[in-house]
Amino acid sequence: MDPSPGSLVTLRQNNRKRVLEVIRRRGTVSRSEIAKQTGLIAKQTGLSTTTVANLVAELLGQAVIVEQAPRPNSAAGGGRPATTLFLNPAAGCGLGIHLAHDHIRIGLTDLAGNVVAEQITELDVDHQPTQSLAYAAQVAIELIATAGLKPTSIAGLGVAVSAPVSGKTHALGAGPILPDWRGIDVARELHRWTGLRVEVGNDANLGAIAEHRYGVARGVDDFVYVMLSDGVGAGLFLDGHLYCGATGGAGELGHVTVVPGGFVCRCGNRGCLETVAGAHALTGALAQTHGSSTTLADLMAAAQGGESGALRVLADAGRAVGTALATICMILDPALVVIGGKANAEHSPLLSAVRDTLADSITPLRKDPIPVVAGTLGEQAEMLGAIALATQTAAIG
């Protein structure tokens, strides 16, 4: 049969991907839920019950998904409990690379998102694009070999980058933020070195995908994910889907002006949120009393110890983040705000300040304050999101 677009082979592959994506997003679902959810995903072109049943039987036969023994139904009236299905973690693996500003995180997971192997290396990624990609490819290949896997068992390689990414071309909108990366095709270079299918996405967007699939935002269709690390970014989930904007630049929260006439940002503007709440800004604010070698970990530890200066730095940053988020939340009306990255400690004064600022800024027409919570995936979120991006389009098995 012809595998060209519109052929029966392509149609079946796309239907298979829809079923797999429902199971990935929900973790464990019944067969009837798959039929319902695929219908929602495909909108008016939802799959029939017969089609879903056939695809489920095929995936079970290939051990891509497995059945879970039903639990006894203790509810009044009883009834036979639905058989549930979930991805077989052993059916394949995914690779993820997070190209952060000053380090590279590379991980290998099973299909359930469990980390099998991981390596983190400090590297000046912003100014060493060729070296960074070559190193990442080498480590990725080594992780596959060390785990005793074959490249054919890898469902895909996902890459998180600290720049806007075009959803259609994978081109980086590096511009003035990452000038040394201008013109570099990350997907093409990594595919050339590894032979794997490569997907590329903005790191904050991928952090949002990870929290939606594996973390605190699971089951929440409308939320804002804020990544507070070396830079500051946001991922926007609207109606269950990531929103990237016309050019891939949606969610550049770090370059929203919060201090008119403030410090010059690396983007060229003044007073951007990143100059107040980014890692360098946070540690710099404490450098006068703690020294120029102060790290973000030092700051967080000092705050946990109750040091007033550290508490003030985090609270000021939280108010700035809340101010930048206020307009976004007024327009989008999210059900949840998730704070991720290096500065997302659950009981940090930063989170408290974000909550208070939003509560004071949001229209009184909204009955309850928007919940602001710490992400549960920590600094692995962007890497896990990269793997989710790479595996969600794979017709595994």
Report d(CA 151, CA 93) in Å as an integer.
10
- Nearest C-alpha neighbor of 99 from the set 136, 67, 70: 136
Chain mean position to CA 366:
28
pTM for the full model? 0.84
Q: Are strands 65-68 and 28-30 parallel, antiparallel or unpaired?
A: unpaired
Start-end ranges of CATH 3.30.420.40 in the chain?
91-208+382-392, 218-376
Phi, psi of 378 (to 5 degrees): 55, -145
Residues in the chain predicted with pLDDT less than 50, given as ranges, are 1-2, 43-45, 73-77, 397
Predicted local confidence at residue 175, as pLDDT: 65
Give the neighbor-by-neighbor strand order of the sheet with 65-68.
28-30, 84-87, 65-68
Nearest of 220, 193, 195, 198 to residue 209 by alpha carbon: 220
Q: Which two tokens stand for residue 377?
A: 């995936």
8-87: CATH topology is: Arc Repressor Mutant, subunit A (1.10.10)
Cβ-contact 72, 86 below 8 angstroms: no
What pLDDT does residue 44 have?
A: 42
For residue 257, the tally of other CB atoms under 10 A from its CB is 15
Give the strands of the sheet with 115-122, arranged side by side: 115-122, 103-110, 93-99, 154-161, 198-202
d(CA 71, CA 30) in angstroms, rounded, equals: 12
Q: What is the pLDDT of residues 4-50, one digit of tens each?
A: 555 677 777 778 877 877 777 776 778 777 777 766 655 444 677 78
Structure tokens at 396: 């595994």
Q: Is 3.30.420.40 the CATH classification of the domain at 218-376?
A: yes
Residues 6+ apart with CB under 8 A from 106: 95, 96, 97, 98, 118, 119, 120, 136, 139, 140, 143, 383
pLDDT value for 1? 44
pLDDT at position 246: 85
- Find how far residue 217's CA is from the centre of its chain: 11
For domain 91-208+382-392, the CATH class is alpha beta
